[in-house]
Amino acid sequence: MSGPILMALVFVFTLAIGVPIPFAAGIATVVGILMADIPLTLMAQAAWTAFEPFPLVTIPLFVLAGQLMEQGGMSQRLVTIAQRLVGAYKGGLGLVTVVACMFFAALSGSGPATTAAIGSITIPAMTKEKYKPRFAGAIAAAAGALGSMIPPSNLLIIYALVTDESIPRLFLAGILPGLLLGLMLMVVVVIVAVRNDYGGTGERFTWGPLLQALWDGKWAVFAPVIILGGIYAGIFTPSEAAAVAVAYGLFVGLFIYKGLTWEKLFQAFKFTAIVIGTVLFILGSTKAFGQLVTLFDIPDGILSLFQGIKEHPWLVLLLIGIFYIIVGMWLESIPQIIIFTAVFFPLVTSLGIDPIVFGIFTVMTCEIGFLTPPIGVNLFVAARISKVSIEQISIGVLPLLIPYILMIFILVFFSEWVTYLPNLVYGERL
pLDDT at 123 over 70: yes
Angstrom CA distances, 312 to 25, 337, 351, 371, stand at: 32, 24, 9, 29
Q: Which domain holds residue 14?
A: 1-38
pLDDT of residue 430: 55
* 361/229 same-domain check: yes
* 32/172 same-domain check: no
Label each residue of 239-284 as H, E or C: HHHHHHHHHHHHHHHHHHCCCCCHHHHHHHHHHHHHHHHHHHHHHH
| Beta-bridge partners for 199 | 90
Q: Which is more confidently placed, 72 or 51? A: 72
* 80/181 same-domain check: yes
Cα gap 104→66, rounded to integer Å: 8
pLDDT at 350 over 60: yes
pLDDT of residue 57: 81
pLDDT of residue 308: 72
* 24/68 same-domain check: no
Q: Which is more confidently placed, 293 or 217? A: 217
Amino acid at 349: T
* 9/89 same-domain check: no
* 28/80 same-domain check: no
* 24/51 same-domain check: no
Cα gap 176→182, rounded to integer Å: 10
Q: Which is more confidently placed, 312 or 22? A: 312
* 296/322 same-domain check: yes
Q: How many domains does the chain have?
A: 2
* 397/380 same-domain check: yes
pLDDT in tens, 385-416: 888 888 889 899 999 999 999 999 999 999 88
Computed over every residue of the chain, the mean pLDDT equals 83
Of the candidate ranges 19-28, 166-175, 218-227, the one whose mean pLDDT is the lowest: 19-28
pLDDT category at 429 given cuts 50, 70, 90 is low
pLDDT at 251 over 60: yes
pLDDT at 274 over 90: no
pLDDT of residue 191: 92
